[in-house]
Copies of this chain bind each other. A is one copy, B any other.
Amino acid sequence: MSLRYALLSLLTGQPKTGYEIGKAFESSVGHVWHAADSQIYPELRRMEADGLLDCTAQAKGRTTRKVYAVSAAGKRALRDWLAEPDRPVRSRDPQYLRAAYLDWTTPEAARAQFEEYVRYYTEQGELLRRTRDSLLDRSHPVLAARLERLPAEQHEAVVAFKAFAYEGMLRQAEQQVAWAREGLELVDRLERSGAYAALD
């Protein structure tokens, strides 16, 4: 269901075509809630059928493109969802699952896992930091387009919540990097102490 609200949120900024949504998604909400194009197009149709979006066909050259805008019912749905109590998601992280059983594999394989975590979350953290900064200085294009259509007194809150969400994700990523580095040390320590015994 969250994809629906991610799309709704994105479109409150500005009406967009399916394709533009796909692009804007990747550089904004998509960091928070990832979705592929093949999921986005059908969902837009369903949302239109449910009356959450208004769709107007626009001729452009020979092809027609569909511009989607949030309807009044869509705004209501978004606002209801925001106020809804959030049933927290139960953890389901393949990484921690693997980490818990690394005694089953070789020190080399264990190290490779942690190295990959460090690499991935370092990169992810950089992306999140860049994005957060571009929100704070309001240079982020999707945000900038949104702000243009809003009165100045709302800008502060709009920016603050978005930057704050990225801040949270950024800290998670940084924490993951620190954790994975400790994992590498753990593997070294266990190997030095001869704790890696043969497995059956």
Contact = CB atoms under 8 A, between A and B. Distances in A.
A4 to B, nearest CB: 11
For this chain, the copies found in one complex come to: 2
- Looking at chain A's contact residues, the main secondary structure is helix
B97 A6 contact: yes
Contacts of A102: 82, 161
B195 A100 contact: no
A102 B6 CA distance: 13
A19 interface: no
A81 B95 CA distance: 11
Given A164-B183, A175-B175, A190-B160, A89 B93 contact: yes
Interface stretch (A31-39, A42-50, A57-65): A31-39
Interface in A81-108: 81-83, 85-86, 88-106
Contacts of A167: 179
Interface string A103-128: 11110010011001100110010000
A20 interface: no
Nearest to A9: B101
11 contacts: A9-B100, A12-B104, A78-B104, A79-B104, A82-B109, A86-B113, A88-B124, A89-B94, A96-B169, A100-B165, A102-B161
